[in-house]
Every structure is written in structure tokens, then in C-alpha cells.
Amino acid sequence: MPSPEPALPLRSDARRNRDKLVAVARAAFATADGTVALEAVAREAGVGIGTLYRHFPTREALVEAVYAAELDDVTDSAPALLAELAPEQALRAWMDRYAAFVATKRGMADVLRASVASGRIATPATRQRITAAIGAILEAGAKAGTLRAGADPEDVTLLLLGVFLSTANERDPERTGRMLDLIVHALCASRWCGDQ
């Protein structure tokens, strides 16, 4: 799902303000235990509330922009990680990025549910993009001989969702990390790759 954009190109200062608002909102939603005040987002971004509403006329519009930016970041990070790391290490690093994406969604849960129900966010498209990113990493690992050939990327997606659902209320990053390590170890073609 591409980021929602206005019909006309934004001036550079307006683009900077929009980007700051999205960045601040991303951080706020990731750490919030309750509703994020839009006034606080605007203040932290260094703009007035009117500027926030010019870019995002509703809370839903801001949440959808944050969601789209997070999804773009997590799915687009797979090739960059593969360029820097061995496939099994790229897989583990990517899983951390995905965990951060899921954590950000927790602070937006109510609005996201409404956006999914209305069709503004298509969950099958999100799942496809996540699964494609996992598939690219698994394929690279199979070619390198470090990850199992034939592992189904959709199965890995479901495993990850299971980890995130089972640890959602704990907010224990160490437990989540150990569970992600187990998934990588299970996907290794040789024993050593999960221990590096």
C-alpha cells in the first residue's frame, strides 16, 4: 500500500513538515499505552496543530500514513540487509525490523481495525508484501547454502505472527528475541548459522 499523498506535489518545506509529523507519530504510536494526542505530535514535530490537520485531516489519515511508512520501511529493508549481511543474519535483522513494525501497530490498533474494516488498508496486500520480503531472504539463504531450501515464506510469516501475538501483552523484547532466534535456527541449513 503506497503512502497516501496529496494530489499536487508538496513544496519542500511542506514535505519536510509532513515527514516530521509522520516520524514523530511513528515514535509516539510505538511507545504509547493509550491514545496519542495529536497536539503532542504537532508540538514534538515543531509545527502547529493546523499544519498537522492540513496534512492529515483526521486521526485515521495520520495513522494510515504511519502504517504505510512503516510497511514500506520493513519490506524495503530486506534487499539492503542482504547487501550488508549473510542471509541468515539478514533474516534475523529483518525480523527485528518486522517486530518494530508490529510494535508500532499496537499503538494504532483501534484506528487500524477501522481502516481495515473500511477497506482503506488491505491486509492481504500487507501479508503479501511481508511474505515476499521473507521469501527474498530465504531464497538468498538457500542459494548461499545457509538457510533451508524449500522453506515456505508464508509458513515463516505465520510463525512470526504467532510470536508477536503470543508476546503482545508481555512487551518482553528479550523473550521475543529468543523466539525469533529459534525460528532462524530452525530455518538454518547447517547448525552454525543460528549461533553466529
Residue 29 is predicted with a pLDDT of 82
Read off the pTM: 0.75
Residue 93 and residue 81 in contact, taking contact as beta carbons nearer than 8 Å: yes
Residue 1 is predicted with a pLDDT of 46
Name the stretches of the chain with pLDDT < 70: 1-10, 104, 106-123, 171, 191-196
Q: How far apart are CA 20 and CA 128, in angstroms?
A: 28
Q: How far apart are CA 144 and CA 149, in angstroms?
A: 10
Half-sphere exposure in the Cβ direction for 48 (13 Å, CA)? 3
Residue 196 is predicted with a pLDDT of 47
Residue 122 is predicted with a pLDDT of 61
Q: What are the phi and psi torsion angles at 188 (to 5°)?
A: -70, 140
Residue with cell 534487499: 79
Q: Report helix, strand or coil for 188.
A: strand
Residue 194 is predicted with a pLDDT of 47
